[in-house]
Amino acid sequence: MPEYRIEATGATLGAVVTGGRLADLDEAGFELLLDAFHEHALLIFPDQHLEPEQQVAFARRFGEIEHLYGDSGVVPISNQRHDGSLLDDDNPAMQIMIGNEGWHTDSSYMSLAAKASVLSAQVVPGRGGQTEWADMRAAYEALDEETRERIAVLSARHSLRHSQAKIGHTDPGAMLYGFEGGDPPLRPLVKLHPVTGRPSLFIGRHAYGIPGLSSEASESLLAGLLDFACRPPRIWRHDWQPGDLVIWDNRCLLHRARPYDHTEPRVMRHTRIAGDEATEWAPGLADTA
Ligand code: OGA
Ligand code: MN
């Protein structure tokens, strides 16, 4: 078995893993990585250069693949078409990628929120275009007791339509990506991790409309929590090199893309791992009425 070296980043989340080829991952190697995934919530594997099928096979170890976009299991996160031309900022796919620049969880707007996400880099811009993650376990732990008690009984709706509209993107074409069209699910603000049992804040740009609060009070509470949560030492930024691959635990981290010059190509591959129904399913509003 290759000797994976797992080095914690020094922030409250994340580890860099070197010394093994994910394309050759065996069961013993996977068990090691799974433990590290639960501990660090973000694993960064430099220089892996996986083919799309190898990326899906790696992701598949962690659970079922969420099919957002065709059957391949790989979603292009890219501003470049196959013919090399670049997308305009008002392109619906580009609107979703610009939306990714706000702190978010993947698929929290679906009934079944994602368990984890894999992202790898093919082409990276000269400047910017990094990805950042924020540790919602450490954020919860850092809250004062009064806030913890206040939020313990609260839930928020999660909607992609809402988060996109908030940044001025209302093109219905952009809503095709992972949009069910049903009522926004209602999710508790404090989530217990199904494996580690650790509580974390479950917030981000898709969250809004806390039942029992005015929309202003809800907005202000969620914005305040987000601002408090996404600060050092609870954040980690990765500067991509082509061939790097990361996996993160969507149940306890937020993430966001950093801006870059859209006249340069940025080509990434995303594979999303579906949540387990027993722990990640949340009813839509109609189901709870
Ligand atoms: C995503 C995402 C961030 C990035 O693919 O879900 O948020 O840096 N990507 O591209
Ligand atoms: Mn995302």
Q: Is the pLDDT of residue 29 over 70?
A: yes
pLDDT in tens, 170-179: 866 655 554 5
Residue 270 belongs to what H/E stretch?
Answer: strand 267-274
Dihedral over alpha carbons 126, 127, 128, 129 (to 10 degrees): 0
Query: What's the predicted TM-score (pTM) here?
Result: 0.96
Task: Using the mean position of ligand 2's atoms as its centre, give its distance from the Cα of residue 152 in Å.
Answer: 25
- Residue-wise pLDDT for 72-118, tens only, equals 899 999 999 999 999 999 998 999 999 999 999 999 999 999 999 99
* Mean pLDDT along residues 269-284: 93
Q: Looking at the domain assignment, is residue 280 inside a domain?
A: no
**Structure confidence at residue 65 (pLDDT):** 96
272 touches 67 (CB < 8 A): no
User: What is the per-residue burial (b if ≥16 Cβ within 10 Å, else e) of 237-258?
Assistant: ebebeeebbbbbbbbbbbbbbe
pLDDT band at 283 (very low <50, low <70, confident <90, very high): confident
What local confidence, expressed as pLDDT, does residue 148 receive? 98
Q: Which residue range forms the structural domain that includes residue 150?
A: 5-78+86-274
Say yes or no: CB of residue 205 within 6 Å of ligand 1.
Answer: no
For residue 117, the ligand 1 atom closest to its alpha carbon is: 6
Residue 287 scores a pLDDT above 70 = no
Q: Do residues 41 and 249 lie in contact, with contact meaning Cβ atoms separated by under 8 Å?
A: yes
202 is a domain residue:
yes
Nearest CA to ligand 1 atom 10: 257
CATH code for the domain in which residue 11 is found: 3.60.130.10
Q: Is residue 279 part of a domain?
A: no
Closest Cα to residue 233, out of 142, 146, 148?
142
Amino acid in position 189 = L
Say how many domains are in the chain: 1
